[in-house]
A and B are shown apart, each in its own frame.
Chain A
Amino acid sequence: MSKEKKILGIESSHKRAIRKLYTLRASRFAIQVIFLIIANESLNLLLPLPVIGLSYPWTSFPSALDMLQAMIILLIPPLLPLGSIIFFNALFGRIFCGWICPFGFVQDVIHYLTSSKNFIKSSLHSRLKYIKYIIAVFSILIFIGWAYLDSINQLNSLASTYGRGVALMPYTSFSPDATLFGTLLFIFSLGILPNSISSFFSSFNAAIFIRYLILILVLLACSRVTRFWCRYVCPMGAINATFSTRSALGIYRDVGKCDDCGICNKICPVQIDVVNAKLGRIDSKECIMCFECVAACHTRALNVTFKRR
């Protein structure tokens, strides 16, 4: 029996699904680009919702996590970042991860360019995905520890030993998104790169070296496994996931319509077992609400809806 040709991983006879997937990808790409521009063009804080990655000198939007850590450490109740995280995730699930986050966008672009794998061994995947929660808890404990140092006026001595970055924003000091959108762009804006490679290298110190190393390793991992950072490492993703467990918006599988073709499982960038979703609802903790599975489903068995099933 001859095998049917596939387009975007979908059998070529399923024209409607292919069309929908193309349209979805184009719209998602456009929205991600728009948010990347918003995040990186100064809006002079007209819209200070803390949702997007900190990327000085162009951004005016600190990410919720950046704000959360700074406010905790500076002993200001972090009501705004915490409120916006809880509110948006309770309503729409991790739509931030699928459509807005600039670092998520970078990973999607890497996926399109390198055809990184959507799948790793299931047993390994189900263990690795807990790492991000451990990192999130560990980061929050560090913020609280730093806040304690601040309360006993010891934060300045930490800052003078390890730098103000480590004292005020311990997570951002090492996160690859801040290196990519912050540090590197800043170096370009100063004309150090690409004009003066020697002054670029002379700016190296241990902390900067670790930052670049983390960024390179993460980008390499993302070129092997789709959305590697989001699946296994990102503490922002872990915090989003915690409040998305019962999000109002959800993706449901209609068992009656599903013909078990499995295309949804194959296309999912974060390796969710859509075909075997319990009670018909897709795991909204790990799902980044990209809706690729919904578009690719040729039997229309998957639906995005506020209605509980």
Chain B
Amino acid sequence: MNKEWLITLIFFFLGAVFISSSIDFNYFNLIPELVKKLIEPITQGILP
């Protein structure tokens, strides 16, 4: 197998492992909470 494909596959599996472990950790449910937390700062300071 050539080196180019090796790099592609390493990145591919690394990404897949990260995504699947984030599902294990229930991160998909964490995102809404985080977004709520983040909405506040983005609007802060722009109200008269």
The listed residue with most A CB atoms (<10 A of its CB), out of B20, B32, B43, is B43
Asked if residues B38 and A199 are in contact (CB atoms below 8 Å), the reply is no
Q: Are B35 and A83 in contact (CB under 8 A)?
A: no
User: Smallest CB–CB gap between A264 and chain B, Å?
Assistant: 22
Is A269 engaged at the interface, CB distance under 8 Å to the other chain? no
A residues in contact with B38, CB < 8 Å: 54, 56, 62, 66, 70, 168-169, 172
In contact, B31 and A67 (Cβ under 8 angstroms): yes
User: How many whole Å from A51's CB to the nearest CB in chain B?
Assistant: 12
B8 lies within 8 A of A248 (CB): yes
Of the candidates A71, A172, A199, which one forms a contact with B42 in the assembled complex, judged by CB atoms under 8 Å apart? A172
- How many pairs of A and B residues are in contact by the CB < 8 Å rule? 137
Main secondary structure of the interface of A (DSSP, over half): helix
B21 CB to nearest chain A CB (Å): 6
Q: Looking across the interface, which residue of chain A has its beta carbon closest to that of B19?
A: A83
Bound: A85/B14 CA distance, A: 11
Do B12 and A308 touch across chains, with their CB atoms under 8 A apart?
no
Q: Which residues of B contact A56 (CB under 8 A)?
A: 38-39, 42-43
Tell me which residues across on chain A come within 8 A of B17, comparing CB atoms: 83
| A250 shortest CB reach to chain B, Å | 9
| Interface residue SS majority, chain B | helix
A: interface residue count bin: 35 or more
Q: Is the CB of A70 within 8 A of B22?
A: no
- Sample of 30 A–B contacts (CB below 8 Å): A45-B35, A54-B35, A56-B42, A67-B34, A71-B34, A74-B37, A77-B25, A79-B18, A79-B22, A80-B19, A82-B18, A83-B14, A83-B15, A85-B15, A87-B11, A87-B18, A87-B19, A164-B40, A165-B44, A168-B38, A172-B38, A173-B42, A178-B42, A182-B42, A186-B43, A208-B45, A245-B7, A246-B5, A246-B11, A308-B4
A56-B39, A70-B37 known, 12 other contacts, Cβ within 8 Å: A56-B43, A62-B31, A66-B38, A70-B38, A79-B18, A79-B25, A86-B11, A90-B12, A164-B40, A172-B38, A172-B42, A178-B42
By a beta-carbon cutoff of 8 Å, the part of chain B in contact with chain A is 2, 4-5, 7-8, 11-12, 14-22, 25, 27-28, 30-32, 34-35, 37-48
